[in-house]
Structure 1
Amino acid sequence: MSETSPTVAAAEIARLAGVTRATVSNWRRRHTDFPAPASGGTETRPVFDLGEVQEWLRGHGVQSADSPVQRLRSLLRSEVDPETVPALMGQIGDDSSPVHSAVSAAIGAVGIKQTLDVLAERGLDAVPSTGVYPTDSPVAALMADLLAASAAPPPSSVLDPACGSGTLLIEAARIGATTLAGQDSLPVQAARTATLLRSELPAVSVDIRTGDSLLADAFPGDKFDAVMANPPYAQRDWGADRLALDLRWEYSVPPRGESELAWVQHAISHLHPGGTAAVLLPPAVASRTSGRRIRMELVRAGALRAVVALPPGASTPRQIGLQIWILRRPDRATADDSILFADAARLPNRGDTQPDWQVLADRLTGSWRSFDHGDTEAATVADLTAVVRVTDILDDDVDLTPARRVRAAVDTGSVASSAHAAVALLGEHLAELRDTAVTLEVWPAGSGTSLRTATVSDLERGGAVRIVSTPTEPAGSDAPARPVLSARDILSGRGPTGLSGPGVQVSAELIREGDVLVSRFRDDHGAAQGARVAEGDDVGAVPGAGVIVFRTDPDRMDPWFFAGFVGSPDNSAAMVGATTIRLDPSRLRIPNVHPADQKPYAEAFRRLHRLRVAAVQTADAAQRAADLIGTGLTSGALEPPVKEE
């Protein structure tokens, strides 16, 4: 600890005075008597003596918002090294120094938990935490409630191998656990959790240890009634090479890119036979190709009992819908023959980004309770849950995404009206298709004269066209979710069907109105590559893999003219490759035509595009109508028409 006086930054002065940082900046410019910066800061982030600031605020009639918490923050920043915070947490109650006294005062003002949060802020300074997210309290409570609703007896002992701030272990105590164990790789988090649990739960046995649970398991060989975990996501250095022969990998060795499935097997390894684990995971774990073998073995062995998909926004990171995997260490030779899938994405919400947690928790725990007690009929809830046989899951992909498994139950009262509405919509699309086709009936014969062309490379040099660079990088945890347009979307004539998410490789360049979008690959039938001009839902989307974006100078090159000739047979030379046929955009050839003469061609290509879109929409409407009528006939909601004699 330092012998210097406590210092505060501009942000802390703003909190003291109850103003904005901009106001503090104005004070510094307008008042010559404002305290001069103290040593220890930088030119861009100066610090000031706390006592001088408080005196200045009083002298200028500014009511200080000073509080025990604010004083503690100031002392921590000026006098406490982040590495010493874990020891400070273990010395609560000791008033031998000003910092210790400030800790005691803060506890008296706001309680132990909030004080530990303030201490942790300092302890976590400059600590990288990529892939680590706090467990939101409602999600932690739901995970605990799912454990409590299991057919197994309520857990007495619970382990959290990535305990963070202790949220999950607090919930474990709420449902009756009397022995709590945890481990975290960060000393400040381990100390924070241990101090909190011992203060809040004096009657509970608490054992919190420091270390990386995968690389240095602090509880080797120990078994627990339950495990709750929100492990780090997408770890690159989790120890794949060093742990290749680890005995925890009962369900196959996790590949380097499957750190989450290493955590899943770590959780199972610490369960008593029949014990249950609830693990919070990102949705990609349910479907990634590299994890197929482990998913298959988990399903075959009966170790995976349920997959619960939470709606996006339910927990951090809020851009994706996380999943709760419920696992059980098999305690008998015969594995269970079904798995429960729950998709909570369409449950009612309160009108903001959060779901109605009371409704969500009641429905999910009720369904899981019924399933785990053997009542599969009661566990199946229309449009929410599905009980799926293991034999139906063990296909080539072993995709455990709940949305693929949950199907809405047939509502005989609405099938007939839905079918009639689908037939009416089909009629509208057929009429639109006929109207579009009418505009294409008359085509004057051409002269047969070949048009002089130039390559896109030449047009780029002349400034008429530009190939937009779309380098990708992983999206950050706070990046907004955006629609992603794929090459297949272009080939099928549909709008963007993908969605970006944290960690996903995306381009920072978004699609603009008027951009020419081209698929780099041929379609499945070997036809020319698809191309269209961006409009509607395309605008603002992220160009996905296999999408080339051209941006034309509209005064020299009409985008529809350019898009139409991209698919010309003359451009077959731009397609390269033997097995995978792809487009070399620089080799495309576009006619040299005066801008005024491009307009008729552009209009014609636009009409052809509308015809293709109308055809796709009509086909989709026909499929929808046929499916509804078929469902109605097989469920008894509809009867076949009787032909009158």
Structure 2
Amino acid sequence: MPEVSAAEISRLAGVTRATVSNWRRRHDDFPQAIAGTDARPLFDLNQVQGWLSEHGVEVSDSPASDLRTLVRSREPELVRQVMKALRRSEDGWVASGLGGEESAYAAEVAEAVARTAERDGTRVAVDTLAERAMEGTPATGVYTTPAEVAKLMAVLSAKLAAADVLDPACGSGSLLLAAAAAGATELHGQDVSQIQVDRTRLLLEADTELQPDIRLGDSLMADAFSGHRFGSVLCNPPYGQRDWGSGELALDTRWDYGLPPRGEPELAWVQHAIAHLEPGADAVLLLPPAVATRPSGRKIRANLVRTGALRAVIGLTPGTAQPWHIGLQIWILRRPVPGAAVPDELLFVDTTPLSKEAAGEDRVDWDLITNSVVQVWRAFDAGEADRAEVSGMAAAARLVNVLDDEVDLTPARYVRSSLDAGAVSHQVGDAMSRLASAASELTSLAAEVTGWSEAAGKSWRFVTVADLASHGQLEWIRARPTGADRNEATDTRRVLTAPDVATGNPASGTMATARPSEAIEVRAGDILLPAVRSDRSAGRTARVAVAEDAGAVLGPHVHALRVDGERLDPWFVAGFLTGAENVSATRTSTVRFDPSRLRVPVLPLSEQQRYGAIFRRLFLLRVTAGRAFTAAEHVIEHMTTGLTAGALVPDDSMDAGSIAVGKVRP
């Protein structure tokens, strides 16, 4: 019988994992687990589908859901066999080499993969197969490289364009796919898992014009490309390997910079990458920050620095790649050219200031980070160290200053010590100006929130969004996906997401590829209502689109309500939809968010407009307060950095007697 996990139920029903947990706790008739563990229970798919139908929960109807159900109907071992047999050809997807009943099933899977790839992209289709195939297999320390990180790593490799590229731990194929997009002409990979080998092969065969060479095996213990050198190596190696072969490989010729200790597997991967480079070619690796500081790796780090093999260390902010709680590092290494002079400087880049500036509403502006890092690296690599030293972000350190007793390669250590006092002071001054402006605007808006009086008691008749829609007073527009389609022309559009609704900034949004047939353009006056709740309360922040929003595409998790302006005031509707009564109704709901159940009172248009005017002011007050808070955070960040790095000092006015102790409470 097909089994599904709680995570798969959430995808099937279009709800969060927390909602599935609520269903299990609150509904005695929810299907019992039939397998798995307490931490990861598995449920009968047919029972789950029946329960969802009985409780009025709409089951996602998509090719990806159909494919997921299909692979769930068989054991992981058969799915592994199908993946190995699956091929992408000019005529579509085919799976050959299996016999009997397995052959018919493989053909069914190939057809489902084709539909999913056409609708949602090859990555979704292949990952769906791999998720099922990998069940029961060990994957500790193996992480998927996010597409944005893979793109950054690929463009940092100086000679990647028109080069043959190796990824010795290719995993899901993200880095090789990014290499192809950056102009690589040959793709080579190796992975210890047959599932990952097939996963990478399928992705590259479908989404590139190249024929990849992906081999099975442990790259450290059984190097499939021994003796072969490449124009570029990209790698996100497994972290924390305990048994990587340190004893068996003690005399291996790859260890030009020192025998890696048993607890330093990442430094074995670093040297493996360099061993596969042509002279002057680059290797770009994604590594945990401990590799830069562990005492056991000090000797190897020193040799990498001393010989000029290590050219740059780039620190990423936590949350940009798994494991999410730590800030990973990108190391750029270059195989020395025999007889060439050893460079006397090493580049350190700390993207944390950029990430904080770009994050705004808990997002990362990868275009900003990628462009800034690449510009700094290329300037440094071209010998223009002065241009590379961007205050607060990068520093070119003399090798002699790095080769101390610790050989600590943490970027922030060198970037902070090189801060220019004048630049930091200027940044603090700018931040203070923005804070003063935001505070002034907040004070001004707070003064405008007037025009209310006590009510003797209101007895309203309410109508739901569904009622208004059925009578033609508004149109409920559901969000649709905006991914690329292989067979349909696409264009790059500005997509409004849930955080864009909360910011209230006109013309905000993320540039993304959209299908013209599914892109729903926002109009001025539309009510934008996120399906996700805010972090600080259980409610949702709705706003009315302005002229600058017009033409943007409705993004995922955002609903639009298009009202009849002659009968409904948009800000009146938006205000009541996010009011306390509707917040309570949606907070306790165990099914997916449904705007049709939200209610607004029945009032004349003139009275609606009075409510709408104050609701609009309250929204602007909330948005401005958020900007003031962000501006205050920037002041604190810049000033704290300057003070702790020695770029700023307190002046005489900040003596102990000038601080009113006890008047400010934390």
TM bracket (short chain): 0.5 to 0.7
Instruction: Please point out which of 69, 78, 83 is paired with 2:73.
Output: 78
Instruction: Please point out which of 134, 146, 150 is paired with 1:140.
Output: 150
State the alpha-carbon separation in 1 of the partners of residues 648 and 203 from structure 2.
60
Q: Which has the larger radius of gyration?
A: 1
345-354 or 131-140, which moves further after superposition? 345-354
Q: CA deviation at 1:67?
A: 3.6
C-alpha RMSD over aligned residues: 3.6
Q: Which runs of 5+ in 2 are unaligned?
A: 88-92, 96-102, 433-641, 652-666
Instruction: Please point out which of 416, 422, 425 is paired with 1:411.
Output: 422
Matched, 1:129 2:152: no
State the alpha-carbon separation in 2 of the partners of residues 153 and 622 from structure 1.
39
Instruction: Please point out which of 170, 179, 186 is paired with 2:177.
Output: 170
Give a deviation string over 1:538-581, Cα, whole Å, max 9, x none. Answer: xxxxxxxxxxxxxxxxxxxxxxxxxxxxxxxxxxxxxxxxxxxx
Aligned residue pairs, count: 416
State the alpha-carbon separation in 2 of the partners of residues 413 and 217 from structure 1.
49
Q: CA deviation at 1:102?
A: 3.6
Instruction: Please point out which of 181, 186, 193 is paired with 1:179.
Output: 186
Q: In structure 2, the residue corresponding to 1:79 is in which secondary structure?
A: coil
State the alpha-carbon separation in 1 of the partners of residues 647 and 152 from structure 2.
39
Contact 1:170 1:197 in 2 (8 A): yes
Give a deviation string over 1:513-537, Cα, whole Å, max 9, x none. Answer: xxxxxxxxxxxxxxxxxxxxxxxxx
Equivalent residue letter for 1:71 = D
Q: CA deviation at 1:391?
A: 2.0
Q: CA deviation at 1:103?
A: 3.8
Structure 2 CA distance for partners of 1:335 and 1:113, relative to 1, 3 Å: same
1:612 matched residue in structure 2:
none
State the alpha-carbon separation in 1 of the partners of residues 397 and 645 from structure 2.
25
Equivalent residue letter for 1:75 = L
2:408 matched residue in structure 1:
399
State the alpha-carbon separation in 1 of the partners of residues 307 and 643 from structure 2.
42
Equivalent residue letter for 1:146 = L
Q: In structure 2, the residue corresponding to 1:284 is in which secondary structure?
A: helix
State the alpha-carbon separation in 2 of the partners of residues 138 and 276 from structure 1.
19
1:539 matched residue in structure 2:
none
Q: CA deviation at 1:227?
A: 0.4
Q: CA deviation at 1:329?
A: 0.4
Give a deviation string over 1:350-371, Cα, whole Å, max 9, x none. Answer: 2245433222211211111111
Q: In structure 2, the residue corresponding to 1:411 is in which secondary structure?
A: helix
Equivalent residue letter for 2:221 = L
2:64 matched residue in structure 1:
69
Equivalent residue letter for 1:169 = L
Contact 1:313 1:354 in 2 (8 A): no
Q: CA deviation at 1:332?
A: 3.1
Contact 1:314 1:353 in 2 (8 A): no
Contact 1:157 1:224 in 2 (8 A): yes
1:434 matched residue in structure 2:
none
1:368 matched residue in structure 2:
377
Structure 2 CA distance for partners of 1:57 and 1:308, relative to 1, 3 Å: closer
State the alpha-carbon separation in 1 of the partners of residues 142 and 6 from structure 2.
29
State the alpha-carbon separation in 2 of the partners of residues 161 and 83 from structure 1.
27
Structure 2 CA distance for partners of 1:131 and 1:13, relative to 1, 3 Å: closer
Q: In structure 2, the residue corresponding to 1:285 is in which secondary structure?
A: helix
1:212 matched residue in structure 2:
218
Give a deviation string over 1:297-356, Cα, whole Å, max 9, x none. Answer: 111111111111112222221211111110000013221121111112222222245433
Q: CA deviation at 1:47?
A: 4.3
2:390 matched residue in structure 1:
381
Equivalent residue letter for 2:421 = V
Give a deviation string over 1:485-512, Cα, whole Å, max 9, x none. Answer: xxxxxxxxxxxxxxxxxxxxxxxxxxxx
Equivalent residue letter for 2:295 = T
**TM-score normalised according to structure 2 size:** 0.56
Q: CA deviation at 1:89?
A: 4.5
Structure 2 CA distance for partners of 1:122 and 1:49, relative to 1, 3 Å: closer
1:435 matched residue in structure 2:
none
Q: CA deviation at 1:79?
A: 1.4
Task: Report 1:427-466 matches (<5 A).
Answer: none
Matched, 1:193 2:203: no
State the alpha-carbon separation in 1 of the partners of residues 267 and 28 from structure 2.
56
Q: In structure 2, the residue corresponding to 1:381 is in which secondary structure?
A: coil
Give a deviation string over 1:413-434, Cα, whole Å, max 9, x none. Answer: 949999xx9xxxxxxxxxxxxx
Contact 1:304 1:339 in 2 (8 A): yes
Q: In structure 2, the residue corresponding to 1:181 is in which secondary structure?
A: strand
State the alpha-carbon separation in 2 of the partners of residues 397 and 63 from structure 1.
59
1:252 matched residue in structure 2:
258
Q: Which runs of 5+ in 1 are unaligned?
A: 422-619, 630-645
State the alpha-carbon separation in 2 of the partners of residues 46 and 134 from structure 1.
24
Give a deviation string over 1:592-612, Cα, whole Å, max 9, x none. Answer: xxxxxxxxxxxxxxxxxxxxx
Structure 2 CA distance for partners of 1:139 and 1:17, relative to 1, 3 Å: closer
**TM-score normalised according to structure 1 size:** 0.58
2:317 matched residue in structure 1:
311
Q: In structure 2, the residue corresponding to 1:205 is in which secondary structure?
A: coil
Give me the identity figure in percent: 46
Instruction: Please point out which of 351, 355, 359 is paired with 1:350.
Output: 359
State the alpha-carbon separation in 2 of the partners of residues 154 and 168 from structure 1.
14
State the alpha-carbon separation in 1 of the partners of residues 404 and 214 from structure 2.
41
State the alpha-carbon separation in 1 of the partners of residues 160 and 189 from structure 2.
21
State the alpha-carbon separation in 1 of the partners of residues 37 and 423 from structure 2.
71
State the alpha-carbon separation in 2 of the partners of residues 623 and 177 from structure 1.
42
Q: CA deviation at 1:127?
A: 2.1
Contact 1:75 1:99 in 2 (8 A): no
Contact 2:66 2:112 in 1 (8 A): no
